[in-house]
Structure 1
Amino acid sequence: MPHSGGVSTTAAHQPYTPSRPRGGRRTWSWVALGGAWWQLVALGVLYYVCVRTATGQTHENRLHAQAVATRGAETGWLRRAFDLVDRLEPQHLVVGIVLVGAVALLRGRPVRALQAVVVAGGTLGLTELLKLVLLERPDLLDHGWSSNSLPSGHTAAVLGLVLGLLVAAPRWLRFPLALAGAAAAGAMGAFVIADGWHRVSDVLASALVGSIVFCLVQVLPSRDRRSRGALVSVSVLVPVACAAALVVVYAGGVPLRTAYLVAGAVVALTVLAAARALPREVRAAA
């Protein structure tokens, strides 16, 4: 007897699988690579303007001299915070990277664990490579300050760990972690300027490095649901925020306190933008 209704029994029992647009993964990879490249260009512009020109060094050294002159003047909780930062050692970072990877592994997410470790370790690794090997600070003003300090290693260390933890953590924990991580990374960026360890451009460069590594890691294959628009926003927002900070700090001639708060805010914004751009996890099939 013919089957009525016009729908075959075989088709009715076929499981539904959501369609994925062709080239989606490839487009995402190109967006990630393009965002990293654009921010690398922004990093080069920041370095040239602030470090390789006399005008840039003049603005940089004005605030840096103030910070060096007032170093150690802080009291109360701020002094205790500086003392805590001063005790950070490389082994603390290694432990942090291991813990970040362990969070994802304990959740059964080996790809996320790899991404998290690369973000955390790569942010500091690229920072140290740039600061100690590839970049230099010429003494254009005969001030005797010729050692390169761009990017900031302390800022990159905290920023990288925070970004790595966001990659490793479950989605329901991202919001509180993003808020706490933004506060921690932003505070570190502000502290190293206020205590005369780094200049404003050093901290802004660390924000760009963290965002570059974050974008590059997104190229790794994943089944998670990705938002290209959110990743594009990271690639655009962080360089624009760095440019705006330079205008406010140097063209505006603001005092030291405002300068380090503005730089810290850019680092915090980097964390929040990256948290928003993270893909949604897809549960493994039962």
Structure 2
Amino acid sequence: MVRSRPLVVLGVLLAAASAVGVWALHRAFVLTVHGQAVDEAALVGARTRLWRLEGGANAVLDSVSAVAVLAALGVVAVVALAQRRVRLALAAVVLVGGALATTQVAKHLLLHRPDLDVTYALDNSLPSGHTTFAGAVSAAALLVAPVRLRPLVAVLGAAYTSAIGVGTLAAGWHRPSDAVAAMLVVVAWGALLTPLAGGRPTAGTGAGGRAGAVVVLLVGAVVGLGAAAAALAATWSSVPPAPRGRTAQLVAGAGGALGVGGAACAAVLVLLLLQRAADRAADRAADRAAGHGAGRVAASGGGGTGAPRAGGGAGAAGGTVTAPQPTARPGSPG
């Protein structure tokens, strides 16, 4: 595997931007009255108008446990080691463990939720641990997946993360900002570890599937985040108090759910493109190595089969070796 210094720098910048994003979400939707009201409106709208999803959401959310974390770590490590890529296995394990640890530290130690007389639940819930788990497992699977399977893994990972994130809303466990912040935590760790793990030479393998996955994720991100922005604008102008009426609650709840799904697609898309950039760096390194190898072969072959030395060219060309003729002595017989 090959590491590219520009990609490492890009990963650090993406991680820093993700950290700023978490800070901005906390600042806007937790530390302000209006932000808390909008976030709570989305949660209430989702529980009130998307209540049919609650049964399925609880079943999906119950699958996330300490056993599930250990099982996920074991699976991604085995997949990487089966390809004889120890560095990938380590990166995948660190990604999942680091993202989960960061979420718990941020939620319980670094961030707080003040009582602004808006919501009854005062314990800080940003970022969401369940959504962090889903996103981190999806990112780790994307990291260790064979090149041909990577597009499918990306789409399935985005779908799984979206299901967990929306499920936390439908079950009333988390607000939209909690789920989006969790995805930013995952992006930060994925952006740091993908360049360090290095890319793999692909020689154009899986280009068609990758293009299809990019289109699917891009459409999901644009549609989801666009609809969420429109719903956020409508809800922002109507709170506080909480939106009343079926339509207003549906807009708030569905907008929050679509925003979570769009954020999941955007997060996986960023990591997929970063992984592709790492693979391109590996492709270029492989091409350079092949070119240098061909040059060395040509150079070593030139010493044995190259042009004949000066002075022997005529004899070599004719295939006959001619001995030099002696010079006639004076007085010798003519």
| Bucket of the pairwise TM-score, normalised by the shorter protein | 0.7 to 0.9
Cα deviations across residues 188-207 of structure 1 (Å, max 9, x unaligned)?
11111122110010011011
1:202-221 equivalent positions in 2, closer than 5 A: 202-220=178-196
- Where structure 2 has 5 or more consecutive residues not aligned to the other structure, the ranges are 203-217, 236-250, 291-334
Change (3 A) 1:208 1:161: same
Residue matched to 1:27: 6
Q: Secondary structure at the match of 2:75?
A: helix
Aligned letter for 2:116? Answer: L
Residue matched to 2:52: 74
| TM-aligned CA deviation for residue 27 of structure 1 | 2.4
Cα deviations across residues 38-70 of structure 1 (Å, max 9, x unaligned)?
221122111101111111011112222344557
The answer as to 2:252 corresponding to 1:270 is: no
| TM-aligned CA deviation for residue 107 of structure 1 | 0.5
The answer as to 2:65 corresponding to 1:89 is: yes
The answer as to 2:39 corresponding to 1:55 is: no
TM-score after normalising by structure 2: 0.66
CA distance in 2, matches of 1:225, 1:142: 53
TM-score after normalising by structure 1: 0.77
- Where structure 1 has 5 or more consecutive residues not aligned to the other structure, the ranges are 1-19, 227-236
Change (3 A) 1:213 1:52: same
Change (3 A) 1:272 1:123: same
| TM-aligned CA deviation for residue 138 of structure 1 | 0.7
1:167-246 equivalent positions in 2, closer than 5 A: 167-220=143-196, 222=198, 224=200
Residue matched to 1:141: 117
Choose the corresponding residue for 2:107, options 127, 131, 134: 131
Cα deviations across residues 156-178 of structure 1 (Å, max 9, x unaligned)?
10110010011011111101111
Q: Which moved more, 1:213-222 or 1:183-192?
A: 213-222
| TM-aligned CA deviation for residue 81 of structure 1 | 4.4
Choose the corresponding residue for 1:251, options 233, 236, 240: 233
Change (3 A) 1:34 1:272: closer
Contact 1:122 1:213 in 2 (8 A): yes
CA distance in 1, matches of 2:111, 2:258: 26
Residue matched to 1:115: 91
CA distance in 2, matches of 1:143, 1:80: 26
Contact 1:194 1:257 in 2 (8 A): no
**Cα RMSD (Å):** 3.0
Aligned pairs, number? 249
Choose the corresponding residue for 1:65, options 19, 31, 44: 44
CA distance in 2, matches of 1:225, 1:36: 25
CA distance in 1, matches of 2:164, 2:173: 11
| TM-aligned CA deviation for residue 245 of structure 1 | 7.2
Quote the sequence identity (%). 29
Choose the corresponding residue for 1:45, options 13, 18, 24: 24
CA distance in 2, matches of 1:205, 1:124: 12
Contact 1:36 1:213 in 2 (8 A): yes
Change (3 A) 1:133 1:31: same
Q: Secondary structure at the match of 2:74?
A: helix
CA distance in 1, matches of 2:19, 2:228: 17
Bigger radius of gyration:
2
Contact 1:127 1:206 in 2 (8 A): yes
Q: Secondary structure at the match of 1:187?
A: helix
Aligned letter for 1:47? Answer: H
Contact 2:43 2:175 in 1 (8 A): yes
Contact 1:33 1:219 in 2 (8 A): no
| TM-aligned CA deviation for residue 247 of structure 1 | 3.5
The answer as to 2:131 corresponding to 1:155 is: yes
| TM-aligned CA deviation for residue 277 of structure 1 | 1.8
